[in-house]
């Protein structure tokens, strides 16, 4: 039951993008097409999950015993940067079209505050364990994916809409993002 609560909270109630406002850069930048959003979501799922596992182990078994827990942030950033480089190399070989579609946003996962934020938040889970931290990271990446894919599908529909000239581009995107955030606010109190 505890894992179901974590899943619902991470995807709907405390959505990493729409409620906690982490990971806004890829949310606004990569979400032009649903296919690109799905690819970015997969990359974030992989990086966020692996980064949380590695950073949890690094923190619990190296930094805390050595009394270096104050180095948490900088060491987590280094781990995330190395993982993103690995994902970039893999995507370049496995799926060149997706690699080109993600463009500059793939290296931006390195500085995606959602990945770092989830890795840090996973350390503060009540009765936290590695399994719970990993599940928390996967649930948050699913919440990130949901927000990204919803936003991309709405943007694809807006391309066909008759939008006033002054609202095209960034203004309508920010308005839609705000409305999505308000919609997710309706889940508050669910868990």
Residues 66-108 have pLDDT tens digits of 999 999 999 999 999 888 888 788 888 888 887 777 666 677 7
Q: Please, are residues 45 and 141 in contact by the beta-carbon 8 Å criterion?
A: yes
Please give the structure tokens belonging to residue 121: 């938040």
**Cα separation, 51 vs 72, whole angstroms:** 13
| Residue 131 to residue 151: CA distance in whole angstroms | 30
pTM score: 0.86
Domain borders along the chain are: 2-185
Q: What is the pLDDT of residue 116?
A: 92
- Gap between the Cα atoms of 179 and 183, Å rounded: 6
pLDDT score for 105: 66
């Amino acid at each position: 039951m505890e894992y179901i609560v974590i899943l619902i909270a991470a995807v709907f109630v405390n959505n990493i993008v729409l409620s906690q406002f982490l990971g806004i850069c890829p949310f606004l930048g990569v979400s032009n097409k649903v296919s690109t959003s799905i690819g970015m979501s997969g990359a974030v799922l992989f990086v966020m999950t692996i980064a949380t596992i590695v950073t949890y182990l690094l923190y619990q078994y190296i930094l805390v015993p050595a009394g270096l827990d104050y180095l948490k942030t900088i060491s987590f950033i280094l781990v995330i940067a190395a993982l993103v480089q690995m994902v970039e190399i893999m995507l370049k070989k496995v799926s060149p079209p997706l690699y080109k579609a993600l463009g500059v946003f793939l290296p931006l996962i390195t500085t995606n505050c959602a990945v770092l934020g989830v890795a840090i938040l996973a350390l503060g889970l009540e009765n936290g364990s590695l399994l719970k931290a990993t599940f928390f990271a996967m649930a948050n990446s699913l919440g990130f994916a949901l927000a990204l894919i919803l936003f991309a599908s709405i943007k694809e529909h807006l391309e066909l809409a008759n939008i006033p000239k002054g609202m095209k581009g960034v203004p309508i995107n920010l308005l839609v993002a705000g409305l999505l955030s308000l919609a997710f606010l309706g889940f508050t109190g669910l868990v």
